[in-house]
Structure 1
């Protein structure tokens, strides 16, 4: 044990919760598939840590300590009379094979990528695989995930609870798939890595942040599978976006107001290399390849000094045809407002489904378009709604400025 004052012990526990909760839950659930039990026992382990560590000192391996305590709680539950009556499962210690062969669980290695593929099992409902990975492996809470998917928090929470119950009741195995199965499960894994990056977006300039970890996972899966175009497309997308991140904690600036001389030329070259690896002659590009190409057009301003808006409109038109996500359609409308007219772009926004009302970029782009049409009161109301939906302080400060009629300009909102 390493002696720490009470405040330091609490900070170590907080850091472990932030950085390792998802990994630990996945490890605890690996043998039984009972995600809810894993979450409950790990929460109990953290409670015990907050009592024990200030008194006895922080262990040299906090995550391993938490894993051991949570496992002991699981064993107590399995042996309890209440559990025998309600759900007679075998003790995981008595099950014949370990699902993560060779895993040194006490060291808590970085096996998130393998666990993402585990959670992409085809028996899990398609609409919950990515949210489940974001919560269970990557450690985001249901409210954050709900915002990313533009659904009510309660609905997302219920969806995740039902998925965990199905995994437990159907005994869906937590086993690392073979290479062929990895290819079959790739799409939701890429969505989860992309979602992790998007949720951690404000800190993407910090290599040690979750956004940095998402970029690492994207590159790792691309190299692991070798010939999957969309995997290389995601690696390119996250690398090119990171190249423009700047220093975390700085003010938010839309793309047009950023100084390209501050972008990372090394990362731009790396991202362009990944994008080239994603290309397949005669094969139409997928979603992540198109999004990476969009980022490449923006990054090319560092070389040319101008933004090729017509090229962006072509790429966004292709993107919404391939993957008509809410975010892609909002961005397509924003670019249409640049290349065609704000009126046409507003028509595209108004055609979006009702969940648009919970999606911050919709209101930000709408405010920008309304301001260009001279409808400043309506624009201010749209920006106010965007501010209300924004959790990032830097973006909120930017949008708060834009909602002032005197400050409205022809610059885009959050695209």
Structure 2
């Protein structure tokens, strides 16, 4: 049965939204204008395609309509735009429209680099990539990042205006620039993944399966930059984590830690893909954060499969990760690994100090509580569990922590 016009439009939007926005904004750097024009083009498609049929090349049709919309908008705005610039834009657009059968270049990676430019505030880079590449609206993004939709919309608008006003180029950096410029792009994608990781069942519609969309972006980057080891490492890291999604909650929605997960529920082909990516990355040189984090995930997965976790190797991997990032999260996880190799006292000593970064961080207090309990300091462990429970927003994780706390000796009550 042939697809309906609505279904084709939806499929093109899912597959090519960012590709079309990127090419429309390539010259002018006007991301907001490109999005508006593309939105009008999709509206035109929904009106035209059911009556006249879906064109042979829907992407090219949408691009041609969007370009005409931008030219029309340029005519209306020429009072405030230099006439020469306006005429040049029309000439360039009309020239590009001369052949709708020509392949559309893929400039999504260039758009991602623009969204993650140093001139853009770090906190808005990931939401900006989600909107420009995937077409998420401000309400969906705001819900995912716990920001009011109006506030998120204003921040996104300012960021797009910044790209245009500051003349941020939509281009993939030269290879000499790439190491520094690639990092914020990967960080933005991983930030999107982390936003969806806390909704493993996809129960929150507002998140729109952020984790899955971030993996899609990771695949795109790895496809466009196949020789960049950290791009491969990030995709491997996300796949290792995502492969365990079905095992993270039981049938009642209760949280299950890695050590107790049913490995039969893991997505083993996805794990195999992650292993292949990590091996490819290791042969390219340039060991970085995402490769180390992926290697740690791999070691934990191998440990669960073989019932023999290589904790000394995990400590070494965390040593390398901490040296690169100085991340308190990595330091906490390293302390837990140290406890497995040298005992809970050594693990407790390896925990970072509870400074301002950690005072309100639940995993720090949960790790501290576990190590104190293993040392037999039940009263202090109880207080740490209480702090962790109070800081946890996920009801299922909170119940898990309460269960762990209840296993302390009655004397601690």
Tell me which of 338, 341, 344 is aligned to 1:340: 344
Name the counterpart of 1:213: 216
Deviations 1:122-150 (A, max 9, x none): 76677765554343224455677779889
Cα offset for 1:287?
A: 0.8
Kindly tell me: are residues 267 and 340 of structure 1, through their superposed partners in 2, closer, same or farther at Cα, counting changes over 3 Å? Answer: same
- Write the mapping of 1:87-126 to structure 2, written as runs, cut at 5 A: 89-90=85-86, 93-94=89-90, 111-117=107-113, 119=115
Matched, 1:74 2:70: yes
Tell me which of 25, 29, 40 is aligned to 2:25: 29
Tell me which of 392, 399, 407 is aligned to 1:386: 392
Cα offset for 1:255?
A: 1.2
Tell me which of 28, 34, 37 is aligned to 1:38: 34
Kindly tell me: are residues 114 and 287 of structure 1, through their superposed partners in 2, closer, same or farther at Cα, counting changes over 3 Å? Answer: same
Kindly tell me: are residues 87 and 399 of structure 1, through their superposed partners in 2, closer, same or farther at Cα, counting changes over 3 Å? Answer: farther
Q: Distance in 1 between matches of 2:244 and 2:138?
A: 29
Kindly tell me: are residues 91 and 193 of structure 1, through their superposed partners in 2, closer, same or farther at Cα, counting changes over 3 Å? Answer: farther
Cα offset for 1:291?
A: 0.6
Number of residue pairs aligned between Structure 1 and Structure 2: 385
Q: Distance in 1 between matches of 2:138 and 2:327?
A: 20
TM-score, normalised by the number of residues in structure 2: 0.67
Name the counterpart of 2:300: 298
- Write the mapping of 1:8-407 to structure 2, written as runs, cut at 5 A: 9=6, 20-45=16-41, 52=47, 56=51, 59=54, 66-81=62-77, 84-85=79-80, 89-90=85-86, 93-94=89-90, 111-117=107-113, 119=115, 132-140=128-136, 160-177=156-173, 179-182=175-178, 185-201=181-197, 209-221=212-224, 223=226, 226=227, 228-246=228-246, 253-279=256-282, 285-325=287-327, 327-329=329-331, 331-332=333-334, 335=337, 340=344, 344=348, 348=352, 350-353=354-357, 357=360, 362-363=361-362, 366-367=365-366, 369-370=368-369, 372=373, 373=378, 379=385, 382-383=388-389, 385-387=391-393, 396=394, 398-402=396-400, 404=402
TM-score, normalised by the number of residues in structure 1: 0.67
Cα offset for 1:199?
A: 3.8
Kindly tell me: are residues 318 and 153 of structure 1, through their superposed partners in 2, closer, same or farther at Cα, counting changes over 3 Å? Answer: farther
Q: Distance in 2 between matches of 1:105 and 1:95?
A: 19
Cα offset for 1:44?
A: 4.7
* Higher RCO (C-alpha under 8 Å, 6+ residues apart): 1
Kindly tell me: are residues 239 and 153 of structure 1, through their superposed partners in 2, closer, same or farther at Cα, counting changes over 3 Å? Answer: same
Q: Is the 8 A contact 1:204 1:211 kept in 2?
A: no
Kindly tell me: are residues 284 and 257 of structure 1, through their superposed partners in 2, closer, same or farther at Cα, counting changes over 3 Å? Answer: same
Q: Distance in 2 between matches of 1:368 and 1:28?
A: 49
Q: Is the 8 A contact 2:64 2:100 kept in 1?
A: no
Cα RMSD between the aligned structures? 5.2
Structure 1 unaligned segments of length 5 or more: list them. 388-395, 411-415
Q: Is the 8 A contact 1:78 1:91 kept in 2?
A: no
Q: Distance in 1 between matches of 2:324 and 2:147?
A: 22
Which structure has the larger Rg over C-alpha atoms?
2
Cα offset for 1:324?
A: 3.2
Q: Distance in 1 between matches of 2:148 and 2:240?
A: 31
Name the counterpart of 2:205: none
Q: Distance in 1 between matches of 2:405 and 2:184?
A: 41
Q: Is the 8 A contact 1:132 1:160 kept in 2?
A: yes
Deviations 1:100-139 (A, max 9, x none): 9xx9799777653354345556766777655543432244
Deviations 1:191-227 (A, max 9, x none): 2343344345457999x9424424423542452xx3x
